Amino acid sequence: MQTGISTLLAVGTFLFGLLHLFVSFLRRPRTVLPLPPGPKGFPIIGNLFNEISGYRGVPGSSSHHLWAKYLEMGKKYNSDIVHINVLGDHTIVLNSSKATNDLLEKRSGIYSDRPPMHMMMGLVGVHRRTFHQDFQPPALATYRPFIRQSTSDFLKKIAPTEYDPLRTPDIKHADLESYVRNHAGSIILRIVYGMTTQEEMNDYVQIAYLAAESLIATMNHGSFFVDYLPWLKYVPAWFPGASFKRKANAWAPAVSDLLNKPWERLKPLIKSGTAIPCFVTRNLERFDLVSSLDVDSDKTRTNTDPNMEEVVKNCAAVAYFGGSDTTVSMLMSSILALSHHPEVLTKAHEEIDRVVGSSRLPDLTDRKDLPYVEAFIKEVERMYPVTPLAIAHRVTISDVYDGYFIPKGTAIVANVWFVCFYHRAILHSEELYQDPLKFDPDRFLEDGKESERSPNPELYVFGFGRRICPGRYLALESAWNLIACLLATCDVIQPLKEDPKAMIDPVLDFAEGIIVHPKPYNCRIVPRSATALNLMKTGYPSEN
């Protein structure tokens, strides 16, 4: 009986889908102005079976990165703005800083919406809302003790028992990534949920790691067929071609844990008055929700907006995930870059020794006096952006740009990565950066001071317009603190027995997804001296 009902549901869904395609075809935009150039598709289905659609289920699709495919399109059609149509769903890719700035910044009033992400929101179960004021610069002073404590913990974990440079072992990628995840996770868990002990943080760092696979895979618009045809979410998981539904069912528990477990841990502490002040408690108080928080239910009894508790809960989960995984990506790329560029390491050592000395660790108060360290971080941001394809925007009304028609509801994707030595996007454009494939922090310096010749990559790597990442200041402060302390105390070099032919390319070898990570690598992190080793073991002075 159940199988028969499922079959009828599947057949009905399929017939509804055909009707949806036909109606979409009839409603396709008609205008005297052309759409931006792009691959020619078939009637009704458009570019569905082209590899550049973004849909990962296309038979025979290559493993070539999606941002590279988009750039190849730009080169083929000789345009910085290219168009893709899948089943009436329009996507426009921006491959230049000019087009990105013109649309997502100057016209942010109509380009700040998000396209529906049905795989992520409807099937996996998370949506993004946030409160900018909790992560703006004035709030950072409150968080700096947590950053220092987490940096101290990281240094202690990588410190060898004794100073013996010739016998310091390699650090395996899995161990290094674990230390970095604990560093980033402990900071955000303290800020968002008020967690203070490493024992309770460990489980929640692991939860974020398990949820990362699904969120990274589903946040690019069009990553799954259901993003184009949302009615497919009603198809049974056993239906042919419904592998996305099976993946969603497998991923949903981890995302549910990300959303609910730290929240449920905190609720009784809030009600008892023993919760440590944090992002959640401040926002519950801001909206007068504490007294009405129902510890035994997910429902809220309050005279205020009945959805506000859910907003705070979801916002906390997004900050929890986003604040950990993006920082992990940036730090792992930074360590990889240092291991491949000893000349950069030497310059950074010289600057820190001159400004800070060897008797203490660098602090955030030293940041303005260490321009080369700052330039190194900017070059990492430029060379290895955490999100090579910015999360898609959507235009809310039809628009015209550079003689091209942009239909209402079109998804807009800014491509900040590069494809090859012949055609590059924003952060690897020869128009913006001289010799863009060379890792060179000096491009951001001029006579030891900040240079205006090369645009700050932070203009592009944290999103655009009204959708710019609100956590960027916290991410940069926590990353700067760890990198500065690592540079002050250690040499970061390649493994002892690494085969040069087998080493990963620090430019090209990155995993696919909305947040990218370098592929696994090993390295050696060796204390610079016995004094440096002692600093690693003691960390920052206690602030209690």
**What residues are designated binding site for heme?**
469
Angle subtended by helix axes 198-218 and 308-340, to nearest 10: 90
How is the chain split among helix, strand and coil, in percent rounded to 5?
55, 10, 40
3-state secondary structure of 537: helix
Q: Cα-flanking dihedrals φ and ψ of residue 518, to 5°?
A: -65, 145
With a CB cutoff of 8 Å and minimum separation 6, the contacts of 126 are: 120, 215, 255, 258, 259, 314, 317, 318, 321
Please identify which residue in the block is written with the tokens 């390649």.
494
237 alpha-carbon distance from chain centroid: 29
Query: Which of these, 294, 540, 348, 185, lies nearest to 302 by C-alpha position?
Result: 294
Angstrom distances, CA of residue 518 to CA of 102, 328, 330, 347: 31, 10, 9, 24
166, 497 Cβ separation under 8 angstroms? no
Please identify which residue in the block is written with the tokens 């993003």.
227
Q: Per the annotation, where are the binding residues?
A: 469
Query: Which of these, 247, 222, 507, lies nearest to 391 by C-alpha position?
Result: 222
68, 420 Cβ separation under 8 angstroms? yes
170, 220 Cβ separation under 8 angstroms? no
Q: How are strands ordered across the β-sheet holding 81-86?
A: 81-86, 89-94, 411-414, 393-394
Report the alpha-carbon distance of residue 535 to residue 448 in Å, rounded. Answer: 28
